[in-house]
Structure 1
C-alpha cells in the first residue's frame, strides 16, 4: 500500500538549490495576468538537503542513514512551517513502510492527516489504513474512529463497512453491526458480486450468541437460499440444534428427529456419528421402522462402515420391536377406533418411515381430527410427507400452520428446503461439528 504522494515529493525534490530568487516586477505582473498564482512552497535549504538525503537513503534501504537524515530534517524544520511538516510526515510514512514498522507508520499517518496541506482526496484511504493499523494493535476505539472518518471522507470500500460491523458487534452494538453487514451484502449483490458465505456465518453466530434465534434463523435461510449446499445445510441445522440445547434447555427428541429428517433429505448426514444420533433418537421415541430404514441407508451410502457393529445391535432391537407391534395395518385399525389421535399419529409415523407419504398424511389428518396430539408436531410431519412426495404447495401450507418456538423454526427450514432445487449441491460434508 502506497501512502506517500509522489506529486508532493516531486514538488519538494524539484525545487532548485536557491529558493529566494524573486521574479522581476514585469514577470510577476505577466504571470498574474496569465493565471492565478500557485501557492508558494516555503522550505529552507537545510531542510531540503536533509529531506533529499533521507529519501535517497530510504530508497536504498539504508535505514540508519535515513533515520539520521530524518532527524536532521526535523531539526532544520521551522516551527509553524506547514510545508516542511507536510513533507517530513510524507518521508516518515515512506520510511516506516519500507521498514515495516507499523507503530511508526501509525504515528506518521496521524501527522500526515493533521497537515492542512494534505489533499482531501487522499484522506479516505489514509484514515482506512490507519484504522487497520489500530485493529492490529487491538485499539478498537481508535479503529472505529478512523473507519468512520474514512467513510465520511468518501472512502468507498465494502471491507470498511464489514470491519465497522464487526467492531460494533464486538462492542455490543449488535443491531448497528448487522445493519452494516446487511448493507454490504446488498451492495455486493447490486454490483453482481458474490457474497462470501462466511459473512452469513458471522451474522448467524452473532445472533445465536445474543439469544436471538428467530433472527439467526432468518439469516440462515438467507444463506441457504444463496448457498444450498450439503455442508451449509448441515452446519445451519447443527447450529440450530446446539443453540436450542443451550443453557439447560433441550430441543426434545420429537423436534430433534424432524431436524435429523431434514438433514437426511438434504444429504447432510455426514458420518456414522450423525447416523448414530439419528437412530438413537428414533429408538428412544419408539420409531423402529425409521431406525431400520436409516441404518440400511447409512450402510448403503458407506457412511456407516461395516466395522460399526453397534448398528447391528440397534437394528436387531428395532426389528424385534416391529414384530411386537405387529403389521402397520393393525396400528391403523386401532387408530380409527381410538378415543384420541395418538394412535393415528403413531401409525402416521410408521407410514412416514416406510415412505408411504399418502397414508402418512391420511393418518396424521385423522390424528388432528381426533385431537389429543401436539398439533404443531403433527402439522410438521404432514408437511414432511407432502415434501417427500414432491407436493410443494401442500407441504408449505402445512408448515405455515407451525409458527411458534423451535417448532416454528424447524417448519421454516423445511419450507426453505421445499423452495430449493430438489438436488442439493454436492459438496464434501465433514462431520464432528
Structure 2
C-alpha cells in the first residue's frame, strides 16, 4: 500500500515561524513564564544554568553565521551540561535546526526525540514532531515505533486524514509483519482491526473533502475488515460511496461470495441478482456464474434476458459455445415455463404446499412479475415454509424491483443465517437507491 509522505517540507514550514522565538535564550530576570497575547501559546518558563547558557549561546552564534560544524560542536558541549527539561528541550530544538540546514535526517530525528522527551514541546510542536517521527518509522517499516508516535500525534489533535490513514497503516503493517509478511493470521487480527476506526475516520473525512484518496482507502479498509473477519458492512458502504462505479459493486459482491464458498445455487443467485441490479456484471464469467446459479431450464426467461443483456453490453459473445447452449436450453423450456405460471399462481393462492408456493414466487420473480412474486413469497411464509430465509429474500428482491424500498429493508432485517451477508448488501443497495431517489433496475 502506498504511504503518503509530507515531510520534511511540512516540518520545516511548521518550524519556520517559531524558530527564532523558541530558540532565543531568555535574559536574566525573565525566567518567569510570560503570557502572550490572547489566543496564542504561553512562552515556556526556562531553567538554564550558566555553563549551558554559554555553550548554547556560542552554538546559536555559529548557527546564525551558517557555521554548522562549530554550531554542532558547541551544541555537544551544551548537551553535556544539560540537566533541566528546558535545557534538553533547547538542545533538541537546536539539533533539529542544524539537521534541517545540513539535511542530516538522523540528526533531525534525534533532535525531535530529545525535544519531545523533555516534556517542554508546545502542543503544535507535539503534533508536528510526533507526526514526523511516526511517518519516518512507517516508511522504514518500523511499525511499532510508528504506532507509538502517530498515536501521540492523533491524541495531540493531529487528526487530518493523512495522519489517520498512516496510523491505521501502522497497525496493519505490524499485524502483517508479525503474521509472516504476506497476510494477517488469527493471532494478529485484533491488532489490525484496531486500525480500522482510524481509517474509517480518514475515509469519512476524505468523502467530505476532495475525495482524492477515498476510493483506495475505502478499498483497503474493506480488504482488512475481511481479512480480520470484522464486520465489513460499513466498509462495503464506504467503498460503494467512495467509488460510484460498477467495479466497486462487483468487488463487494464477489468478495462476499468468496467469503461464503458454501453458498447453494439459490443463495448464489440472490447475490448475482444483486450484482445485476447494481450494474456490476462486468465479465463473461460473471454472466456464466449467474446462468449456472439460475439454471436455464429452471428459470428460462431470466437466463434468456440475461444473455441478451450480456450481448448488448459487449461482454457475452454470440459465438461462445456455453452461452449458445444455455440460450438453446432456455429457449426450449420457455414456452412450457410461461404456460404453467397461471395455474401455479392459482394453486399457490389455494391449497398448494408452502414449498410449491415459494417455488412459484421465485418463478414469478424470474419472469419479472414482481407484485405477484412478492405476494406469494409472503404467502409461503404464512404457510410456514421451511426455507424462510429464501422466501424473505424473494419477497425483498421483488419489493426492491418495484421501488418499495422501506418494506424491502424491513423484510431484510429478518434474514439471518447463511443469507445474512447477502441481505446486508441488499440493504446497502436499497440505501443507495432510496438516498438517490431513483427507481430500481429490473431484477430479471
Match runs of 1:24-423 below 5 Å: 48-49=57-58, 51-54=60-63, 56-57=65-66, 66=68, 68-74=69-75, 76-77=77-78, 79-81=80-82, 86=89, 88-98=91-101, 100-115=103-118, 118-119=121-122, 121-168=124-171, 170=175, 172-173=190-191, 176-181=194-199, 193=209, 196-212=214-230, 215-221=231-237, 224=240, 229-245=245-261, 250-283=262-295, 286-306=298-318, 308-322=320-334, 327-329=339-341, 332=344, 336=348, 340-365=353-378, 367-368=380-381, 373-402=386-415, 404-421=416-433
Instruction: List per-residue Cα deviations over 1:117-143 (Å, max 9, x = no partner).
Output: 644542232122122222222222222
CA 1:100–1:260 in 2, change beyond 3 Å: closer, same or farther? farther
Answer 1 or 2: higher relative contact order, Cα 8 Å, separation at least 6. 1
Write the deviation string for residues 273-314 of structure 1: whole angstroms up to 9, x where unpaired: 211221122227832322111101111232324454531222
Change (3 A) 1:47 1:174: closer
Contact 1:55 1:91 (8 Å CA) reproduced: no
8 Å contact from structure 1 (residues 289, 350) kept in 2 = no
Q: 1:376 deviation in Å?
A: 1.2
Distance in 2, matches of 1:261 and 1:159, equals 37
Matched residues in 1 for 2:22 and 2:373: separation?
83
Alpha-carbon offset, residue 46 of structure 1: 6.7
Number of residue pairs matched by the alignment? 390
* Cα distance between partner residues in 2 of 1:342 and 1:39: 84
Q: Which moved more, 1:255-264 or 1:404-413?
A: 404-413
TM-score (norm 1): 0.73
Q: What displacement does 1:104 show?
A: 3.5
TM-superposed deviation, 1:92:
3.1
Distance 1:286 1:100 in 2: 72
Quickly say closer, same or farther: Cα 1:235–1:84, change in 2 above 3 A: same
The answer on whether the counterparts of 1:4 and 1:91 sit within 8 Å (CA) in structure 2 is: no
The answer to whether the 8 A contact 2:55-2:75 is kept is: no
The answer to whether the 8 Å contact 1:368/1:378 transfers is yes
Please identify, of 128-137 and 407-416, the stretch whose mean Cα deviation from structure 2 is larger: 407-416
2:232 counterpart SS class: helix
User: Which protein has the larger Cα radius of gyration, Structure 1 or Structure 2?
Assistant: 1
Aligned to 1:25: none
Q: Does structure 2 retain, via aligned residues, the 8 Å contact 1:288–1:319? A: yes
Structure 2 unaligned blocks of 5 or more = 1-10, 30-44, 176-187, 439-444
How far is the alpha carbon of 1:391 from its aligned partner?
Answer: 2.8
Unaligned runs of 5+ in 1: 23-27, 29-37, 58-64, 427-433
Normalising by structure 2, what TM-score? Answer: 0.71
The verdict on how the C-alpha distance between 1:14 and 1:396 changes in structure 2, with shifts beyond 3 A counting, is closer
